[in-house]
Structure formats: C-alpha cells, structure tokens
Amino acid sequence: MKNKKYISSGGLAFEEEKDMRKLEKYAAEGWKVEGFYLLGYKLKKSEPAEKIYAIDYCNKPDEEYFSYFREGGWEYVASQSDYIHLFTAAHGTTPLYTDKATEIDKYEAEQRMTGKAALPMLIIEMLLLTGAFGDFSFIAPFMSKVFLALCFILSVPLVFTGLPWFGYTYRLFKLRHSR
Amino acid sequence: MARRKSLSDRELTDTSFFILLSLTEPKHGYLIMQEIEKMTEGAVSIGPASLYTTIRKLSEAGLIRPAPGAETKKKTYLITTEGKNLLNEDIARRERIIRTAKDYLSEREDAE
C-alpha cells in the first residue's frame, strides 16, 4: 500500500484557506503533511489527527519567530524557500493572526513582492507584443516570430507572479472592507 | 509605508496597546501572550504571527527595546520612554472616548 501522496495547491494567493481546509481533511483521514512539493504538498500516511493548518510568510526567520509559534501552540511543519512556513495546531488554538492590522501587513508584503516581480515582465511582454505585431522585417524577415516566441516564454513567469498579485490585491480589498 | 501608519497616527491598535502595557516590565514573547490573556481575563488573546509582527513594528518605531542584562536565548523586551509617553497618550484618548459615551448616554437617560 502506498504511504505517500502528493496533492496540488490551489495557489496560496487565491486559495490559502481552501488549501488549509484540504490539509485538515487529509489529517483527519490519516494523512499528515510532510512538506511542500513543487506546486503542492507531500503527505505521509499516519494516525488520523484532528489538526488545523496555517501559513505564514517570513523571509529567513530567526529562532525568535519560531519560538512564538511554538509557545502559541503551533507546531512547525515545513518551509518553502525559507520564506513560506506551514504550521499545525489542535482545533481551538488561537489563530496566527488575531488582528486586522497585522493580517493586512502579511498580505501587503506579498502584494508588493509579486507586483515588483510582475511589473517589469508585463512591460517587456507588451514591448514584445508590439514587436510581434509590428513590422520589424527590416531587421530580419522572421523577427515577428522571434518576438512571438519570446512572448510565449515570458508569459509563464508573468502568469506566476501576475495572478498572485491579483489574488493578494483582492484579499487586501476584502480585508480592508470587512469589519 | 503602511506598517508605520498606525504608529505615526499616534494611535495604537488594541494589539499594540496591550503589548506596550505588558512590557512596562521586561518580558519575552510567550509571557507577553500569557500576561495579556491574564489581565483581560481571557477576553484578548494574541496570535503568534500578530505578536511577532507587532513587536517588530514597535521595536522599529523605538517604542520598545531589548531589555538589558539577562542574555538568555529568549529575547526579552521592555517599553522605552517614548513608548510610555505614547501609551499614556493612548490611555487618555481611550478614556476620553468612554467618558464621551457615558456622558452622552446618561444625559439621555436624565432627559427621559
């Protein structure tokens, strides 16, 4: 019988809560999270456990950071790129964020980071598009094809930063307009 | 930057308010959480991420500082003079709000 399972993430920018509920469901069925894996999570067969999960972002956190979580009842599970951290706790544990101001800080940092990465790519992408549909055959007859090919290649990282930017922007909008 | 906003407004969020209050005596992270739960009789609990972020903000704004001495593994913090001033200002601000509300309500009750 297989005792490892890989599940996909809906993308933390859009589906953080949904991801966490999914992990919670798996934990109850006896699959505990072992770590992040590509664009998802790696699970391992274990005893069924009533656990909740939560994500926090912190670049290269120090021991102090982890001690607060531990003392607050949150067990460390895994990190991705020493930046995204996954924690688990018993039901009813005080959540990671208990006020709106700091929760806004969390997503503002993400919005800034993805925005900073996406913007230059967006500009280059638009220039490439202009190149692809403009007439640059005086340089070489196949120039528009080159531009188009570069356009396709660049669209991959653009989507992976641009979409999360929209996700975080939407989150912040909702947070700021909620009580 | 947004992170400075709530502090430069000279108005404390409830989380900052309680953390400053608890740091009138030196404490490390977990004790801060416990002390706040104790003084509010469980009405206010602060999550670890909110605590970490707020401590960093208060520290950057010079309202708290690492406590001298006791170089243990756990980082201990203490309120600064500037922090005390801002805390007192905010207590007065909160008192004014409550007083206004109470005066307003009692005036109405008297009129009835």
> CA–CA separation, A111 vs A118, rounded Å?
10
Nearest CA in chain B to A54: B49
Q: Where are the domains of chain A?
A: 4-90, 100-176
Are B30 and A67 in contact (CB < 8 Å)?
yes
Tokens of A104: 């806004």
Are B46 and A67 in contact (CB < 8 Å)?
no
| Closest C-alpha among A168, A172, A17 to residue A100 | A172
Give the B window 70-99 contacts with A, CB below 8 Å: 73-75
Q: Could you tell me which residues come within 8 angstroms of residue B94 by beta carbon, excluding any fewer than 6 positions away? A: B17
Q: How many CB atoms lie within 10 A of CB A92?
A: 8
A71 to chain B: which residues are within 8 Å by CB?
A: 29-30, 33, 48
The region of weakest confidence among A112-116, A142-146, B13-17, B103-107 is A142-146
B110 Cα distance to chain centroid:
35
pLDDT score at B36: 97
Please check whether residue B58 touches A, CB under 8 A: no
pLDDT score at A178: 83
pLDDT score at A138: 77
Are B47 and A72 in contact (CB < 8 Å)?
yes
* pLDDT score of A173 more than 90: yes
pLDDT score at B72: 64
* pLDDT score of A34 more than 80: yes
pLDDT score at A130: 87
Mean per-residue pLDDT, A137-166: 88
- C-alpha separations of A17 from A2, A35, A36, A173 in Å: 27, 17, 16, 16
Confidence of residue B103 (pLDDT cuts 50, 70, 90): very high
> Which is more confident, B78 or B30?
B78
A94 to chain B: which residues are within 8 Å by CB?
A: 45-48
Q: Find the chain A residues whose C-beta atoms sit closer than 8 A to any C-beta of B.
A: 56, 58, 63-65, 67-69, 71-72, 74, 94-99, 101-106, 108
Q: Quick one: how many helices (H) and strands (E) in chain B? A: 5, 3
* pLDDT score of B5 more than 60: no
Smallest Cα distance from B34 to chain A, Å? 9
Q: How many CB atoms lie within 10 A of CB A32?
A: 17
Q: The dihedral of CA B42, B43, B47, B52: what is its sign? A: negative
> CA–CA separation, B7 vs B58, rounded Å?
8
B8 to chain A: which residues are within 8 Å by CB?
A: none
Per DSSP bridges, beta strands A75-80 and A31-37 are unpaired
For chain A, give the mean pLDDT.
92
Confidence of residue A39 (pLDDT cuts 50, 70, 90): confident
Give the tens place of pLDDT for each residue, A91-145. Answer: 999 999 999 999 999 999 999 999 999 999 999 999 998 888 887 777 777 888 8
* pLDDT score of A165 more than 90: yes
* pLDDT score of A53 more than 60: yes
Q: For chain B, what is the radius of gyration of the CA atoms?
A: 16
pLDDT score at A19: 95
Nearest CA in chain A to B14: A99
Q: The dihedral of CA B62, B52, B26, B69: what is its sign? A: negative
Q: Where are the alpha helices (DSSP H) in B24-80?
A: 29-39, 48-60
CB pairs under 8 A between A and B: 68
pLDDT score at A136: 75
pLDDT score at A139: 76
Please check whether residue B59 touches A, CB under 8 A: no
Q: Which CATH class is domain B2-111?
A: mainly alpha
pLDDT score at B11: 84
Mean per-residue pLDDT, A143-160: 90
Specify whether the CB–CB gap between A148 and A132 falls below 8 A: yes
* pLDDT score of B6 more than 70: no
Q: Where are the domains of chain B?
A: 2-111
Give the tens place of pLDDT for each residue, B20-67. Answer: 999 999 998 889 999 999 999 999 999 999 999 999 999 999 999 998
